[in-house]
Structure 1
Amino acid sequence: RWIALVQLCLLAFGNGLQWVVFGILVTQAKATFGISATQVNLLTTSYEIVFALFGPFILVIYRRLGVRAGLRYASLFNAAGCVLRIVAVLWAPDFWCLMVSQCCLGVTIIFTFPAPPMLSSRWFADTERTLATSLGSLANAVGIAFGQLLPPLIVTSEDYSRGRWLLFFAIPCAFSAVDAALVTFVIPDGPPSPPSASEAVKAEAKAPANDGTTVPDGS
């Protein structure tokens, strides 16, 4: 369960790292990708637009498929957004490639917002839930903070070549690769054991009824 929390924190941090980069590097983005100031503003606000359009559907996915499935979808969209940014730097430096990558990353953030309390309530004991929820929620805020600090240090006003953009985009790509590997190959569908008495009761309620092939204890 702690590995699942680490995966969520990596996902939220890496996604937050990319959130505001174009709003900070307006001049550099215009020069490198050949876009206007209006297009830069659209890239920056795309997160809010995606949130308004797809927010309710994300909650349905969590409710029907569970936390791990939601995090797998989040990792998929996050990886797609990271890869498209690399593509935009190397082969397709235009507005639409960047916008699609922003939309993918915007879908990711919708998945990560409700994930901390859901993960903590279903995977952690009562005494651990406050810590788990706090860490999961804080990771995105810390990522956004670093996302405001790092870009001007890497993509400077003196050197905003494609190589500098590629260097910055490689950082969240590394986070994406690790969290995708964890959620795909390491994290199970549920916690290895019920974290609390209430979750144990839920697990018993979902278990199939005795079909007569086993004899209850004490019979």
Structure 2
Amino acid sequence: MQTSGPRPTPRRLPRGRHALSRSEVERVHRDRLCGAMADAMAENGYVGTSVEDVLKRARVSRQSFYGLFSSKLDCFMAAFDQAGEFLRLHLQDTAESATGGDPAERFERAFTAYLETLASAPGYARLFLVEVYAAGPEAIRRRSEMQQVIAEGLAGLMGVTGQTARFACQIVVSAVSTMVTPAVAVGDMDALRAVGPPVIDHVRLLLASGVLNPHPPAT
């Protein structure tokens, strides 16, 4: 399985002499190792993935691996950060282009982009949403921090500033994570996309009820 990743990289470096600097070679190796980690875990899970599995997929030497990472977990966390940044940048691009329309329309565009981003990189999506829980407390803490960033971005996109509305955004993000995770876990991208319409309809109801009021009441 080949995973679409945050940053496409050459499958291997050019043979013989090349003009790449040491830092560029390390970047290529890092990206390939992170992509290989996501690919391996999509098939075997975090526990079932070994450093050797990652090396075979990335076609990078063990020496190069340990020159960049101290352990499998260290490589996992780098891949997790890439997945989070990949998601954040896609949502940021959507937010910057979604200047028109009402809050419901902006949410629909952003949420649709979120689902398509996950579907476009199933290995990274599984790493980000599923295998993070097998990787231990630090990975789970990092996942929680990223969810908070996404919730704040949602609040900004929809123009909500009141405490109740911002908390509602956190609930929406947490609920969405729970709803999409089973589909990502089994690689069912149709089921992943099917989460979209009911969530969008529910957020419209929240907006209509005033729970997600873009304009907090005067005090």
Same fold (TM over 0.5): no
Q: Whose Rg is larger?
A: 1
The bucket for the TM-score relative to the shorter chain is 0.3 to 0.5
After TM superposition, the score normalised by the length of structure 2 is 0.36
